[in-house]
């Protein structure tokens, strides 16, 4: 496998790549966009920091590309949508710089409490202004943390060591985790209204852009202190400057900005009670080494069939769990393929139902497998990364439902496809025996038993004598051998579902004969 390391990462990370048998490492630091397009033509993976742009054009030029690894957190330089479309895993290393960013945040908090930056500058000028540079204490103050991920949690730990009360706002923070962290969970408004200090640890999204704006500042205590070492744009900078100048905000610290770097004449640079650093969150020796090692380990795991960790465009699944799910994944994909071929056009919804012990497992890989199977015959280059996106683009909703038991089976996966005309088709499957052999066991609620490695002729026919004989003769004349068959009669409705396992595919002439038989209502040739 060829690994392109386009930006400098830790030498230890490079050595990890080189230590793997069959891995070839191409170090191409500082390459131009044109050079990158040439280099990626036959690579399996690309490792980057923030300099190299992995664009849609790069993806298109790299037909073998499987993984893009970012040594760091931000992935603004990677076109994730294009990666997903091309079935390429995008991963980052969020834990490698956690401590570095948490410590920088606390450095800013201390600098905003005791004006050491300003005092140092005055000392260098020859001054000795002890009265001018009086400060405050963190002890017994209230810290509001917006975002309680890895970094927010580390900041909380350090704040508690300073005897601060910690309030937290995070829509994804559970009650149990808040309790374990020792923080008090509150709404956004409650946090910003009560906090003496506010620090931001959120991604920049449509919802978080200018989260701290003029209205938010108006809700805060007089003399509040605010710090952002997360993402520029979460704080409305003009509103912050006005609040600093009015005294509403006593001090602030920024490591990130809406535009980086800020213009040389940016008014931010002239505000005395605002401490600025040039995006230093991950700029420690330890963090730089950690993210390089982390990205190498993660990429190796993904490329060699291990656990996919910190992926931004697919779920992460432990290899041990994946091994246990293996037979179910095979079954789910076959059911997906079956349902697509059985269903009429204009499918608008796929509902996946799980019954029995399988409900105790992580079923997301099974849902992906169903979608891959469904797309197999109608789309190219389908895998775990892009299958959900491709299904979504087709306008098909996908739901998962779970039930602890089934009337007939200990475990069952059932897929129902619903069409725009209101019609539905349903396929159910399970595993047989200690070898966990996949079998299709129901079609539209009719019990059958069908191999999943076969060409199938599926009929809905009037329950009258001679149908089996007619099929046998027709296929015999076509030199198509029947390997097995399964019949299911509809009680009281006079119809039957018949499934024939075939050694080969019937010709168009044979298919026409079957279509024209007056007792045959529907038929499909299904290739599994």
Supply the DSSP symbol for 82.
H
| 527: β partners | 455
376 given a catalytic annotation: no
Looking at 8, 158, 219, 279, which residue is catalytic? Answer: 279
Helix and strand counts by DSSP (H, E) for the chain? 17, 22
Handedness of CA 353, 387, 70, 22 (dihedral sign): positive
289 given a catalytic annotation: no
Handedness of CA 121, 126, 128, 132 (dihedral sign): negative
Rounded to whole angstroms, the Cα distance separating 257 from 267 reads: 13
Rounded to whole angstroms, the Cα distance separating 237 from 240 reads: 5
With 0-12 / 13-18 / 19 or more C-beta atoms within 10 angstroms meaning exposed / middle / buried, residue 237 is: buried
- Between strands 24-27 and 2-5, the pairing is parallel
Phi/psi at 437 (5° precision): -80, 125
Question: Tokens 């797309």 map to which residue?
Answer: 375
From 431, 402, 428, 403, select the one nearest 417 (Cα to Cα).
428
Q: Answer for the pair 441, 427: CB distance below 8 angstroms, yes or no.
A: no
Cα angle, residue 454 at apex, residues 508 and 322 outer, rounded to 5°: 140
260 given a catalytic annotation: yes
Rounded to whole angstroms, the Cα distance separating 82 from 471 reads: 48
Looking at 49, 70, 231, 376, which residue is catalytic? Answer: 231
The residue count of the chain comes to: 528
Q: Which two tokens stand for residue 213?
A: 């704006």
Alpha-carbon distances, residue 174 vs 143, 154, 164, 408 (angstroms): 19, 17, 21, 38
Looking at 260, 264, 493, 516, which residue is catalytic? Answer: 260
Per-residue burial over 265-276, b = 16 or more CB atoms within 10 Å of its CB, e = otherwise:
eeebeebebbbb
Rounded to whole angstroms, the Cα distance separating 278 from 253 reads: 11
Rounded to whole angstroms, the Cα distance separating 320 from 359 reads: 17
| 485: β partners | 500
Residues classed as catalytic: 231, 260, 279
């Amino acid at each position: 496998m060829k690994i392109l390391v386009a930006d400098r990462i830790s030498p230890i990370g490079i050595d990890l790549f080189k230590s793997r048998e069959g891995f070839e490492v191409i170090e191409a630091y500082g390459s131009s966009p044109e050079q990158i397009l040439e280099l990626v033509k036959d690579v399996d993976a690309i490792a980057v920091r923030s300099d190299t742009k992995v664009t849609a054009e790069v993806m298109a030029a790299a037909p073998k590309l499987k993984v893009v690894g970012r040594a760091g957190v931000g992935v603004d330089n990677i076109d994730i949508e294009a990666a997903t479309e091309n079935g390429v895993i995008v991963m980052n290393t969020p834990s490698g710089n956690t401590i570095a960013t948490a410590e920088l945040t606390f450095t800013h908090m201390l600098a905003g409490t005791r004006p050491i930056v300003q005092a140092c500058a005055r000392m260098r000028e020859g001054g000795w202004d002890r009265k001018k540079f009086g400060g405050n204490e963190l002890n017994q103050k209230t810290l509001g943390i917006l975002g309680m991920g890895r970094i927010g949690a580390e900041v909380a730990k350090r704040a508690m060591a300073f005897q601060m009360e910690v309030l937290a706002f995070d829509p994804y923070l559970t009650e149990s985790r808040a309790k374990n962290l020792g923080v008090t969970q509150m709404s956004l408004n409650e946090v910003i209204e009560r906090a003496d200090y506010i620090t931001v640890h959120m991604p920049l999204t449509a919802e978080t852009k200018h989260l701290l704006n003029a209205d938010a500042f108006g809700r805060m205590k007089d003399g509040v202190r605010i710090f952002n070492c997360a993402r520029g744009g979460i704080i409305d900078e003009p509103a912050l400057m006005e609040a600093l100048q009015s005294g509403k905000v006593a001090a602030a610290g920024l490591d990130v900005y809406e535009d980086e770097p800020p213009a040389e004449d940016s008014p931010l640079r002239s505000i005395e009670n605002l401490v600025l650093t040039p995006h230093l969150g991950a700029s420690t020796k330890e963090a730089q080494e950690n993210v390089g090692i982390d990205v190498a380990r993660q990429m190796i795991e993904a490329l060699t069939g291990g656990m996919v960790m910190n992926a931004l465009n697919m779920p992460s699944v432990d290899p041990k769990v994946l091994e246990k799910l293996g037979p179910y994944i095979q079954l789910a994909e076959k059911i997906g393929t079956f349902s697509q071929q059985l269903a009429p056009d204009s499918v608008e919804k796929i509902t996946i139902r799980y019954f029995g012990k399988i409900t105790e497992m992580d079923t997301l890989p099974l849902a992906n497998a169903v979608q891959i199977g469904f797309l197999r015959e109608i789309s190219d280059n389908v895998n775990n990364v892009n299958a959900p996106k491709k299904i979504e683009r087709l306008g098909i909703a996908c739901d998962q439902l779970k039930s602890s038991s089934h009337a007939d089976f200990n475990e069952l996966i059932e897929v129902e496809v619903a069409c725009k005309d209101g019609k539905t088709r349903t396929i159910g499957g399970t595993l047989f025996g200690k070898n966990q052999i996949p079998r299709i066991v129901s079609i539209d609620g009719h019990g059958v038993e069908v191999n999943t490695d076969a060409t199938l002729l599926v009929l809905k026919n009037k329950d009258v004598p001679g149908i089996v004989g007619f099929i046998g003769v027709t296929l015999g004349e076509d030199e198509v051998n029947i390997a097995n068959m399964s019949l299911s009669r509809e009680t009281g409705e006079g119809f039957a579902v018949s499934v024939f396992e075939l050694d080969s595919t019937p010709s168009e002439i044979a298919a026409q004969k079957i279509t024209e038989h007056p007792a045959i209502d529907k038929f499909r040739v299904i290739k599994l």
